[in-house]
């Protein structure tokens, strides 16, 4: 027999097709079979849902069908769970199933599952056989209240979500709320976001019930129903009733809207509230963050947009925020669930706006947002057009104020209500008799919770007026009843509410039942003991249900007895207020005696008493009859409160200081209502006691305060001011003091201070507020150039004229609302003052920025902070221009490396020693001799502090070796390392000792260097966040120089510092620019033998992988089995590698289970190695996703500008490239990596096609990360050929391959060519005469070595004509070199020029840039100058960073490139010699930024003699024989510079020109031959054309060989 089942029906589009209830399966089956007769029923579910619920459906169907005569078929089909199934492929899969099973037009499809199933199956139904009937059986809350209702069906494509679909209405929608019992809690919350949304746009009552009943609603899904309870109305629990009413309520609204506007032309827009911004967020965070979670944040941001537009009040935003939070949903992008994700980096304002541009709701380019006007109502009955600027302002994390005169002056406004007064007024009005309209109520957690509780206790009724601005309280006169059976009063973490309500609950009318009040975990630890003790002593029965002294409490309903009550009041005045507020309703008159010593916060007790008086109850405080002094004893009459009809809640006095201060500083007028001389708040005295003495006109009545500022710039300093009674206002006073320069009023001036001083005292408690506020003010004021002095209980501020304050200060707010608001006062007069954390004002004045605009009349702009372009996640305030600090042992090369670093970064180098000597007017050595070490160390710390403060950006600061000896300096360094690089220069100790032996400038250690070294080593390590390994003694000694050329160290320094500062991260460009990229795997136990061949081995590749797990130090080579290389050995290997190559390094520790050699469980060791790799600036770190996530999460914030390759390997051969496993691995890796690496094993060729499809799908999604996906084994080789990102390659010279199936770079290129992925291109040299050019040899050799199928040919022609035009237009054109005489003539043929070619005015390289449609545009560049620059730079003598002068001979096209190169090199002056001086003058005009001096005689120098000489004239035209008349005589004086230098002769023939011959004879001079420059510039050309480094060594050899034959 069919069970009894109750359903509630909701109508949509005129039909009662939505049926809701619990445990509906029999009902569903019966209804479907009866109402939708068919030959075939097909149920589709995902595997999660199928596992839980499919069998029940199956049993029921088969059972019922057995009873039918027609015997229809019941089929079921299960698909993979997750959004990826909602695709074209997913749809085809189901269709194939239907076709295979010969389903016909009469088929009924049942979609059992969440929104994914509903959308997908619905779309299948819409198109199968031109549409078949279908039924929605949603199993997630989201699907029940949203996706199943309305008939929208869709699938996703790589271009975006839901882009293809149809409107197709289901025959029935069965809402079985019992399915929610198996739904994960997070999915439930996800659906609640839509429920809250619907209520927020449509129905305030529904919203209010969601607001107050979150705990019960959660409880309803958490307690499983047994025995099908809830199936009938009579078996439904309260919780079930509530849950169903919430769902039905939400569905009804949506059904109504859909019925009115099925095709979304207007009204239906409204359901998109929160979705405009929410979808943009979702596009970035999907799938890690769920739809509802993104919409939740979106709703708050969109509500803030409404608030900003002045349409929605803060109460509305606040209610929405609290309500969403109650359902465990995120409400801001800084929620840790979001902010900690790597993808959160992409949530930039620009990015989000960009995504919003393609929203379906937009009209043209304009964005539309659903604007709330209050809870339950929208501004328009459709989405509203909103300007980008408004959205941008809401989204940005920082703001600035545009200085100016507040346009609303004279301003009349109220500030948000005082929190303490709001809490008291609410309770008083609820307990009072009659209606009371509360105005200016601060809506907070406390008031929200208190309202919910009072409703539960039936103690009062609440409603909102004026769009939420007024709360109407219908007081219950003190009559309270027991809450509904089983209902506990949940107070969250609202402390005041808990204290007040504990006594209120004793007032509940006599009943058998007790009232239970409880809270969250934090609440359950907060004390309430003294209050309970007092109430118990008075006869109330109160039990602790968990810990003694804390909530939850069970309170008997017996009334408050009254009479004499003793209360310990030294912990919290709230206990006192709690009893006072309830006392009038006690059974006998209360005499309250406070005991236990000093009563805390008397002003708050006075406040309660004063407010009780307003509500008609006079409390009498007893006096000592003898002395007349007040006693801590109060008598409260027994009576009812009488509600005033209106109660204006006093404004928060601390908040009021900001608008008043703005009037003061801008010379305008401001009146704050609801706060005056009668106020009980201390900060109400700010106007009279601070602003008036500063020169403002202040008028204060009992209830209002008006301030009129003096003319701008004329505020007076305060002299001495004691702010003890108004400590919170000291920040406001401080910012005014910063611009107060007029001397104080008579009598206030400090006796010993300057006239512009303001000394604030009595505020010591402000050190322990949200932050150390005294320190905070000093630090932030310093950014404006304001000097301050810290005092024991305050600070002193020295004012400056406004125009002298620094503009553009960026204020850090320490998450402290008062810091933010105080500095916005200064921002009204100082341009570009940025308040970095705008949201921190939410604590007390969430709409401060809106009020600044709308009520005060100052424009506020959003500012997006620059977190450094590739933003190293985690480091708090990383700034890519943060100065670099260098530490290390004396003699480790700090100054040398520091100078090289500074020159590479174009930053300023600062050595602490000279700074010290200048400051103290005495040498370091003498200072120590005179004052001793401790004094020196102290002075040194002081200098460190100053250097860091004065040069926060773009400096390289080298510190003394002993700086780490004092804890003060160490702390400074550690602190600094959180925001900028502190680099420890490490050099072998033997080298240091050898070097120090020769050094005398600084004080000797007085102890063995080795001891000093050992003591300091750990300190250096803890103070620094990077390590630069300087293994060679390049400063001194030939031996060292032989080991490493100055050029190699210069390059290494440039690479290292460019990378760690983010100025020029050393990453492989091909990984992100759409080209193919490769890395070579080094699989040696010791890589040093391979170093000789590194160039050859790495030809063509983009990076080198060091397989750390395969390394074995010499001491380890004897052992067998598992081995972990010591960190020092690994570092040494990398340092050695760095001497030979600056290619980025991929640092890989492959574990055994992932196919490597590293023990699987040596987790600590592995991460120690990974951390040390980041310290030494390794560019890519391979992190296996199988490591514990805690370890990985600790590593991520340390990565700086390096990148993580998150990898996963499956050696089993079981990995399928379709399905859930690979999807999960991909998601896990994408969540932590910058690059994802997944490696499987191919068993057959087809496995590679699946891989390829997987990669294509991933790559076409928005914001996808580079993906390295390959199959191992020979069967997998094709995947290695096709893989685009960092394909691992081997080389014939390597001893063994890193993995089976690995190919070489050249092999892959040939293969790509064969399969049509790498077409042959033709390259040319344009010019004449060029028959003897070396360029074809150069490039063709390079192509051959790399396996590239290209061809370079001579193209000799007399003019730039049709032939050249045809060649460069041809589709197979690969690029061209341009030589004499066409370097200028080709320019008109080109589409674009590089800035360098433009500046030089000549092109020697043409590059075809391919466009998406396969055509190309022609780009001109000039590599001559790079050839010159590189040749010169690599040969400069050690220690010569930027040579002072250089000589250029000749004034033709090449000399232009030479001058450009010299300027890039930082040469201060260029002597230019040319036979015809007029031509030389032309160059002077063309290069205005270069200091060129035309010389008429070689050897006569106006200042330094040149250290670089570049000749651009034919060799035959020069001579070193003075007697030769027809040639240019080169006198020996041109080599007068004794430090030596570099000579370049651009002439090719002969190889050794007269100039070079002469130079070779001079000591210290290096020579560069014309062919050397040709090679260098050719290498650059090669890279520009192919994206690959040219194999230099082999190519040079080939060219020189060709040249000499
Ligand atoms: N058509 C519309 O108007 C509309 C509206 C909103 C959202 N959507 C779409 O809905 C989809 C999201 O729906 P969703 O949030 O329901 O996701 P979903 O269908 O992926 O379900 C979420 C997860 O919960 C599991 N699950 C479902 N029911 C369960 C149950 N009773 N017990 C245990 N596990 C269960 C699922 O297997 C899945 O893992 C998106 O594709 C979205 O675009 C459509
Ligand atoms: Zn939605």
pLDDT of residue 356: 85
Please give the Cα distance from 25 to 5 (Å, whole number): 10
Q: Which is it for the CA torsion 1465, 1471, 1472, 1473, positive or negative?
A: negative
The token duo for 526 is 């907060």
Total residue count of the chain as it appears in this document: 1605
Of residues 686 and 768, more confidence is placed in 686
Whether residue 583 contacts residue 592, with contact meaning beta carbons closer than 8 Å, is answered with: yes
DSSP 8-state assignment for residue 1005: -
Q: Is the peptide bond before 1329 cis (omega within 30 degrees of 0)?
A: yes
Look up the pTM and report it.
0.60
Please give the Cα distance from 523 to 535 (Å, whole number): 20
Q: What is the pLDDT of residues 460-513, one digit of tens each?
A: 998 888 777 889 999 999 999 988 877 788 887 788 899 999 999 999 988 888
pLDDT of residue 1041: 38
The token duo for 1018 is 């750990």
**Residue from 60, 187, 211, 264 carrying the catalytic annotation:** 264
Helix (H, G, I), strand (E, B) or coil at 1081: strand
What is the mean pLDDT of the segment spanning 772-799? Answer: 91
Residue 97 CA to ligand 1 center (angstroms) comes to 22
Give, in order, the Cα–Cα distances in Å from 1290 to each of 876, 1092, 1301.
Answer: 40, 17, 10
pLDDT of residue 96: 94
The token duo for 1376 is 């061209």
1456 a known binding residue?
no
Whether residue 1103 contacts residue 1286, with contact meaning beta carbons closer than 8 Å, is answered with: yes
Q: Where are the beta strands (DSSP E) in 22-126?
A: 40-46, 73-79, 108-113
Residue 165 CA to ligand 1 center (angstroms) comes to 17
pLDDT of residue 1564: 82
Question: CB within 8 A of 598, min separation 6: which ones?
Answer: 570
The token duo for 1251 is 């891989």
From the CA of 273, the nearest ligand is: 2
- Dihedral, CA of residue 1447, residue 1452, residue 1457 and residue 1463, to nearest 10: 40
- Is pLDDT of 318 > 90? no
pLDDT category of residue 130 using cuts at 50, 70 and 90 = very high
Q: Which is it for the CA torsion 1358, 1362, 1364, 1365, positive or negative?
A: positive
- Is pLDDT of 1033 > 50? no
- How many other C-beta atoms are found inside a 10 Å radius of the C-beta of residue 186? 13
- Is pLDDT of 773 > 70? yes
Question: Residue 732, CB half-sphere, CA atoms under 13 Å: how many?
Answer: 30
- Dihedral, CA of residue 1447, residue 1451, residue 1454 and residue 1457, to nearest 10: 60
Please give the Cα distance from 1126 to 322 (Å, whole number): 53
The token duo for 973 is 């360094």
pLDDT of residue 913: 86
Give burial (CB, 10 Å; 0-12/13-18/19+) of 1313.
Answer: middle
* Residue 122 Cα: closest atom of ligand 1: 1
pLDDT of residue 1555: 85
Residue 91 CA to ligand 1 center (angstroms) comes to 16
680 Cβ inside 6 Å of ligand 1: no
Please give the Cα distance from 1266 to 36 (Å, whole number): 50
742 a known binding residue?
no
DSSP 8-state assignment for residue 92: H
Distance of CA 354 to the CA centre of its chain: 17
Please give the Cα distance from 775 to 584 (Å, whole number): 47
What is the mean pLDDT of the segment spanning 806-830? Answer: 91
| Beta pairing partners, 885 | 957, 982
Please give the Cα distance from 620 to 60 (Å, whole number): 74
Q: What is the pLDDT of residues 1509-1542, one digit of tens each?
A: 999 888 777 777 777 777 778 787 788 887 888 9
Question: CB within 8 A of 269, min separation 6: which ones?
Answer: 361, 368, 370, 382, 383
**Residue from 367, 867, 1237, 1339 carrying the catalytic annotation:** 1237
- Dihedral, CA of residue 1358, residue 1361, residue 1363 and residue 1368, to nearest 10: 120
Give, in order, the Cα–Cα distances in Å from 198 to each of 254, 265, 307, 316, 1240.
Answer: 7, 18, 19, 15, 46
The token duo for 825 is 């006062």
pLDDT of residue 612: 96
Please give the Cα distance from 1516 to 1519 (Å, whole number): 8
Ligand 1 pocket test, candidate residues 12, 47, 48, most atoms within 8 A of CB: 48
Max Cα distance, the chain (Å): 129
Q: In what order do the strands lie in the sheet with 514-518?
A: 489-490, 514-518, 553-556, 542-544
Please give the Cα distance from 770 to 820 (Å, whole number): 12
Spell out a b/e string for 293-312, using b for 16 or more CB atoms within 10 Å of the CB, else e. bbbbbbbbbbbbbbbbbebb
Nearest in space to 799 (alpha carbons), one of 691, 715, 686, 689: 715
Stretch (H or E) spanning 103: none
From the CA of 295, the nearest ligand is: 2
pLDDT of residue 1113: 82
3-class SS letters over 782-831 = HCCCCEEEEECCEEEEECCCHHHCCCCCEECCCCCHHHHHHHHHHHCCCC
Residue 125 CA to ligand 2 center (angstroms) comes to 22
- The secondary structure of the chain in percent helix, strand, coil, rounded to multiples of 5, reads 45, 20, 35
The token duo for 442 is 């601060």
Q: Is residue 443 among the annotated active site residues? A: no
- Is pLDDT of 1602 > 60? yes
Whether residue 1308 contacts residue 1289, with contact meaning beta carbons closer than 8 Å, is answered with: yes
Nearest in space to 517 (alpha carbons), one of 537, 541, 540, 497: 497
Residue 273 CA to ligand 2 center (angstroms) comes to 9
Please give the Cα distance from 46 to 52 (Å, whole number): 10
139 Cβ inside 6 Å of ligand 1: yes
Mean per-residue pLDDT of the chain? 88
117 Cβ inside 6 Å of ligand 1: yes
64 Cβ inside 6 Å of ligand 1: no
Give burial (CB, 10 Å; 0-12/13-18/19+) of 114.
Answer: buried
59 a known binding residue?
no
What is the mean pLDDT of the segment spanning 682-705? Answer: 94
895 a known binding residue?
yes
pLDDT of residue 1295: 75
Whether residue 32 contacts residue 45, with contact meaning beta carbons closer than 8 Å, is answered with: no
Q: What is the pLDDT of residues 588-626, one digit of tens each?
A: 999 999 987 777 678 889 999 999 999 999 999 999 888
Nearest in space to 1153 (alpha carbons), one of 1113, 1209, 1213, 1086: 1209
pLDDT of residue 1500: 79
Please give the Cα distance from 1470 to 1351 (Å, whole number): 40
Q: Is residue 264 among the annotated active site residues? A: yes
1175 a known binding residue?
no
Strand pairing of 955-958 and 884-887?
parallel
* Residue 48 Cα: closest atom of ligand 1: 37
* Residue 191 Cα: closest atom of ligand 1: 15
Q: Is residue 1237 among the annotated active site residues? A: yes
pLDDT category of residue 388 using cuts at 50, 70 and 90 = confident
- Is pLDDT of 875 > 70? no
Question: CB within 8 A of 1105, min separation 6: which ones?
Answer: 1079, 1080, 1081, 1082, 1145, 1146, 1147, 1148, 1182, 1288, 1298
- Is pLDDT of 1077 > 70? yes
Whether residue 1503 contacts residue 1538, with contact meaning beta carbons closer than 8 Å, is answered with: no
pLDDT category of residue 771 using cuts at 50, 70 and 90 = confident
Helix (H, G, I), strand (E, B) or coil at 557: coil
Q: Is residue 1313 among the annotated active site residues? A: no
- Is pLDDT of 908 > 90? no
Percent of the chain with pLDDT over 90: 50
pLDDT of residue 1005: 58
Residue 116 CA to ligand 1 center (angstroms) comes to 5
1593 a known binding residue?
no
Whether residue 512 contacts residue 493, with contact meaning beta carbons closer than 8 Å, is answered with: no
What is the mean pLDDT of the segment spanning 197-204? Answer: 92
């Amino acid at each position: 027999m069919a069970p009894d089942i109750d359903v509630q029906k909701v109508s949509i589009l005129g039909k009662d097709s939505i049926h809701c209830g619990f445990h509906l399966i029999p009902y569903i089956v019966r209804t479907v079979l009866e109402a939708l007769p068919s030959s075939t029923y097909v149920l589709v579910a995902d595997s999660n849902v199928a596992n839980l619920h499919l069998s029940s459906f199956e049993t029921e169907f088969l059972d019922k069908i057995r009873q039918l005569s027609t015997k229809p078929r019941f089929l079921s089909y299960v698909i993979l769970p997750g959004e990826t199934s909602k695709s074209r492929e997913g749809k085809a899969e189901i269709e194939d199933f239907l076709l295979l099973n010969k389903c016909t037009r009469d088929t009924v499809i049942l979609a059992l599952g969440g929104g994914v199933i509903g959308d997908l199956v619905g779309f299948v139904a819409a198109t199968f056989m031109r549409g078949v009937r279908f039924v929605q059986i949603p199993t997630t809350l989201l699907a029940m209240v949203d996706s199943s209702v309305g008939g929208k069906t869709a699938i996703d494509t790589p271009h975006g979500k839901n882009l293809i679909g149809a409107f197709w209405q289901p025959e029935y929608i069965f809402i079985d709320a019992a399915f929610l019992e198996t739904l994960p809690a997070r999915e439930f919350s996800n659906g609640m976001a839509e429920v809250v949304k619907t209520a927020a746009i449509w129905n305030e009552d529904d919203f209010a019930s969601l607001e107050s009943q979150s705990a019960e609603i959660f409880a309803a899904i958490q307690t499983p129903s047994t025995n099908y309870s809830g199936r009938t109305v009579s078996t439904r629990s309260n919780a079930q009733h509530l849950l169903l009413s919430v769902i039905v309520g939400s569905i009804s609204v949506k059904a109504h809207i859909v019925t009115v506007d099925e095709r979304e032309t207007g009204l239906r827009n409204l359901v998109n509230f929160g979705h405009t911004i929410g979808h943009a967020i979702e596009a970035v965070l999907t799938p890690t963050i769920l739809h509802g979670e993104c919409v939740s944040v979106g709703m708050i941001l969109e509500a803030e947009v409404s608030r900003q537009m002045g349409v929605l009040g803060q109460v509305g935003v606040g209610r929405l925020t609290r309500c969403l939070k109650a359902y465990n949903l995120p409400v801001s992008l800084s929620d840790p669930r979001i902010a900690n994700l790597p993808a959160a980096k992409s949530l930039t304002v620009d990015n989000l706006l960009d995504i919003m541009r393609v929203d379906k709701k937009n009209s043209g380019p304009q964005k539309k947002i659903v604007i709330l006007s209050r809870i339950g109502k929208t501004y328009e009955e459709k989405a509203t057009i909103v300007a980008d600027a408004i959205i941008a302002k809401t989204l940005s994390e920082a703001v600035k104020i545009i200085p100016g005169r507040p346009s609303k002056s004279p301003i009349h406004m109220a500030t948000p209500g005082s929190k303490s007064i709001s809490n008291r007024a609410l309770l008083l009005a609820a307990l009072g008799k009659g209606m009371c309209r509360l105005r200016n109520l601060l809506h907070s957690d406390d008031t929200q919770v208190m309202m919910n509780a009072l409703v539960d206790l039936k103690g009062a009724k609440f409603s909102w007026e004026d769009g939420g601005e007024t709360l109407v309280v219908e007081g219950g006169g003190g009559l309270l009843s027991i809450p509904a059976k089983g209902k506990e009063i949940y107070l969250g973490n609202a402390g005041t509410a808990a204290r007040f309500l504990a006594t209120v609950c004793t007032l509940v009318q006599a009943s058998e039942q007790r009232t239970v009040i409880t809270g969250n975990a934090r609440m359950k630890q907060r004390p309430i003991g003294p209050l309970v003790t007092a109430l118990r002593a008075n006869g109330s029965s109160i039990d602790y249900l968990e810990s003694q002294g804390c909530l939850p409490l069970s309170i008997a309903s017996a009334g408050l007895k009254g009479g004499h009550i003793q209360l310990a009041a030294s912990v919290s005045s709230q206990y006192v207020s709690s009893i006072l507020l309830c006392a009038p309703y006690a059974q006998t008159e209360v005499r309250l005696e406070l005991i236990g010593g000093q009563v805390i916060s008397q002003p708050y007790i006075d406040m309660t008493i004063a407010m009780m008086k307003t509500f008609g109850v006079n409390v009498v405080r007893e006096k000592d009859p003898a002395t007349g002094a007040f006693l801590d004893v109060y008598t409260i009459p027994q009576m009812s409160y009488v509600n005033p009809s209106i109660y204006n809640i006093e404004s928060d006095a601390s908040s009021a200081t900001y608008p008043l201060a703005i009037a003061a500083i801008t010379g305008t007028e401001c009146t704050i209502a609801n706060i005056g001389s009668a106020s009980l708040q201390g900060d109400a005295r700010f106007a009279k006691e601070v602003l008036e003495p500063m020169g403002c006109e202040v008028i204060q009545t009992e209830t209002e305060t008006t301030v009129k500022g003096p003319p701008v710039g004329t505020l007076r300093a305060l002299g001495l001011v004691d702010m003890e009674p108004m400590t919170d206002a000291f920040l406001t006073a401080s910012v005014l003091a910063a611009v107060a320069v007029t001397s104080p009023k008579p009598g206030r001036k400090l006796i010993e201070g300057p006239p512009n001083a303001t000394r604030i005292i009595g505020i010591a408690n402000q050190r322990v507020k949200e932050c150390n506020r005294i320190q905070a003010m000093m630090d932030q004021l310093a950014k404006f150039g304001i000097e301050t002095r810290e005092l024991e209980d305050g600070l002193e501020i020295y004012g400056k004229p406004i125009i002298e304050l620094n503009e553009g200060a960026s204020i850090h707010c320490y998450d402290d609302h008062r810091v933010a608001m105080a500095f916005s006062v200064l921002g009204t007069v100082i341009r570009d003052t940025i308040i970095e954390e705008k949201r921190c004002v939410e604590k007390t004045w969430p709409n401060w920025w809106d009020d600044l605009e709308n009520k005060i009349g100052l424009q506020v702009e959003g500012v997006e902070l620059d977190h450094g372009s590739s933003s190293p996640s985690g480091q708090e305030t990383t700034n890519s221009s943060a100065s670099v600090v260098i530490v290390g042992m004396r003699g480790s090369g700090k100054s040398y490396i520091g100078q090289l670093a500074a020159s590479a970064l174009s930053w300023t180098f600062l050595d602490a020693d000279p700074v010290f000597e200048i400051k103290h007017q005495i040498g370091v050595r003498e200072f120590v001799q005179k004052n001793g070490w401790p004094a020196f160390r102290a002075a040194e710390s002081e200098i460190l502090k100053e250097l860091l403060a004065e040069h926060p950006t773009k400096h390289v600061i080298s510190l003394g070796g002993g700086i780490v000896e004092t804890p003060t300096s160490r702390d400074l360094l550690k602190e600094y390392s959180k925001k900028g690089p502190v680099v420890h220069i490490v050099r072998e100790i033997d080298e240091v000792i050898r070097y120090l032996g020769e050094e005398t400038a600084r004080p000797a250690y007085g102890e063995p260097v080795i001891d000093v070294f050992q003591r300091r080593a750990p300190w250096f390590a803890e103070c620094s966040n990077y390590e630069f390994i300087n293994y060679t003694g390049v400063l001194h000694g030939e031996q060292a120089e032989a080991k490493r050329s100055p050029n190699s160290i210069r390059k290494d320094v440039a690479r290292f510092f460019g990378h760690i500062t983010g100025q020029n991260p050393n990453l492989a460009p091909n990984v992100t620019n759409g080209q193919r990229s490769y890395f070579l795997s080094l699989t040696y136990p010791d890589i040093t033998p391979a170093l000789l061949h590194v160039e050859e081995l790495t030809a063509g590749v983009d990076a080198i992988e060091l397989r750390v797990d395969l390394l074995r130090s010499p001491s380890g080579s004897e052992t067998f089995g598992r081995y972990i290389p010591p960190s020092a050995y690994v570092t040494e290997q990398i340092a050695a590698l760095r001497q030979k190559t600056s290619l980025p390094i991929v640092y890989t520790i492959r574990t055994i289970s992932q196919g490597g050699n590293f023990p699987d469980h040596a987790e600590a060791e592995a991460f120690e190695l990974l951390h040390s790799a980041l310290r030494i600036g390794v560019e890519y770190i391979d992190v296996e996703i199988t490591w514990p996530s805690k370890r990985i999460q600790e590593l991520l914030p340390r990565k700086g500008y390096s990148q993580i390759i998150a990898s996963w390997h499956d050696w089993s051969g079981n990995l399928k490239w379709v399905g859930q496993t690979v999807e999960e691995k991909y998601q896990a890796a994408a969540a932590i990596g910058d690059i994802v690496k997944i490696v499987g094993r191919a068993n057959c060729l087809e496995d590679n096609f699946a891989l390829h499809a997987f990669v294509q799908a991933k790559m076409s999604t928005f914001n996808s990360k580079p993906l390295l996906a390959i199959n191992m084994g020979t069967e997998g080789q094709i995947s290695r050929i096709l893989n685009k990102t960092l394909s691992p390659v081997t080389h014939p010279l390597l001893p063994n391959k890193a993995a089976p199936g690995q190919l070489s770079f050249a092999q892959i290129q040939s293969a790509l060519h064969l399969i049509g992925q790498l077409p042959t291109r033709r390259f040319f040299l344009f010019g004449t005469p060029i028959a003897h050019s070396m360029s074809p040899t150069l490039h063709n050799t390079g192509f051959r070595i790399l396996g590239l199928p290209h061809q370079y040919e001579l193209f000799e022609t007399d003019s730039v004509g049709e032939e050249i035009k045809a060649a460069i237009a041809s589709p197979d054109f690969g690029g061209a070199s341009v030589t004499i005489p066409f370097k200028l003539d080709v320019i008109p043929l080109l589409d674009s020029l590089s800035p360098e070619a433009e500046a030089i005015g000549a092109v020697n390289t043409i590059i075809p840039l391919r466009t998406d449609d396969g055509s190309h545009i022609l780009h001109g560049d000039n590599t001559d100058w790079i050839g010159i620059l590189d040749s010169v730079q690599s040969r400069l003598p050690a220690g010569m960073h930027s040579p002072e002068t250089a000589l250029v001979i000749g004034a033709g096209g090449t000399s232009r490139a030479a001058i450009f190169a010299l300027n890039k090199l930082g040469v201060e002056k260029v002597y230019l010699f040319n036979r015809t001086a007029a031509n030389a003058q032309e160059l002077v005009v063309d290069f205005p930024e270069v200091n060129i001096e035309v010389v008429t005689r070689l050897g006569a120098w106006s200042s330094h003699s040149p250290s670089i000489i570049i000749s651009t004239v034919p060799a035959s035209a020069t001579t070193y024989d003075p007697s030769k008349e027809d040639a240019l005589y080169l006198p020996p004086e041109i080599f007068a510079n004794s430090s030596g230098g570099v000579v370049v002769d651009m002439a090719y023939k002969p190889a050794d020109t007269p100039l070079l011959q002469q130079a070779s004879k001079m000591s210290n001079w290096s020579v560069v031959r014309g062919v050397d420059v040709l090679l260098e510039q050719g290498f650059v050309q090669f890279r520009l054309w192919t994206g690959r480094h040219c194999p230099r060594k082999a190519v040079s050899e080939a060219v020189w060989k060709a040249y000499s034959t």
